[in-house]
Chain A
Amino acid sequence: AQSVTQPDIHITVSEGASLELRCNYSYGATPYLFWYVQSPGQGLQLLLKYFSGDTLVQGIKGFEAEFKRSQSSFNLRKPSVHWSDAAEYFCAVALNQAGTALIFGKGTTLSVSS
């Protein structure tokens, strides 16, 4: 069965430090992968997505992610974290060829210390 694993439940980084959030997936076919961010009182916002092509994808807010098929991973990175980046981050994979339904990981809570 398809699944998404985010190994880190909670991560704290210092403002200005680099960030990497891990995501591993289990999916038989070519995956369609997404990273979303959820802030309190806000809906999930799409940071970036990978469908095919260049395995390093750029997103909004200075985020990027790299698809590594050999490791079944799609880790999210940011070179310098800002206090406003504190939020819940979800990795997701499209469920089927139509890409309509999403399976989400359990999320990683990011805290930013000053």
Chain B
Amino acid sequence: GAVVSQHPSRVICKSGTSVKIECRSLDFQATTMFWYRQFPKKSLMLMATSNEGSKATYEQGVEKDKFLINHASLTLSTLTVTSAHPEDSSFYICSAKVATYEQYFGPGTRLTVT
């Protein structure tokens, strides 16, 4: 089946710095990818929809200047958390759309901001 990878799997950064998370579709092309945030014991919250070659669509309440999304190719989308703060610590999960109602999910990235 379709495989989606994320890198890094874990990252620790200092407050005020930026960190980039990569999401790759390994064996298929994905014109649309999604970024979710998962809090402990909480459901996944959709942050934004990333479309190749165009600007990402952010969900209400998600700061587009803080969470920069770039989908420069059909197999790669990146999420950059800028000027990270401890409250940005979370589990970030990406998914790639393979069909109208199907997404394949990456394993997630644990971000800890100290």
Contacts and interface: CB of A to CB of B under 8 A. Distances in A.
Do A and B share a complex?
yes
Interface residues of B, number: 23
Between B34, B42, B103, the greatest number of chain A beta carbons within 10 A of the residue's beta carbon is seen for B103
A83 interface: no
B75 interface: no
Contacts of A9: 41
Interface string A70-114: 000000000000000000001000110011111111110000000
B101 A43 contact: no
A107 B93 contact: no
**What DSSP secondary structure best describes chain A's contact surface?**
loop
Contacts of B44: 44, 90, 102, 104
A42 B106 CA distance: 8
Nearest to B94: A43
Interface residues of B, dominant DSSP:
strand
Nearest to A106: B43
Contacts, number: 54
A27 interface: no
B106 A43 contact: yes
Contacts of A106: 41-43
Interface in B11-45: 32, 34, 41-45
A102 B38 CA distance: 13
B4 interface: yes
B62 to A, nearest CB: 13
Given A90-B44, A100-B32, A104-B45, 10 more contacts: A44-B93, A44-B95, A49-B101, A100-B49, A101-B34, A102-B44, A103-B43, A106-B41, A106-B42, A107-B41
Which 7 residue pairs are nearest across A and B when measured between Cβ atoms?
Answer: A43-B105, A104-B43, A44-B105, A99-B101, A106-B43, A43-B107, A104-B44
Interface of B: 4, 9, 32, 34, 41-46, 49, 93, 95, 97, 100-108
Interface of A: 4, 9, 32, 36, 41-46, 49, 51, 90, 94-95, 98-107
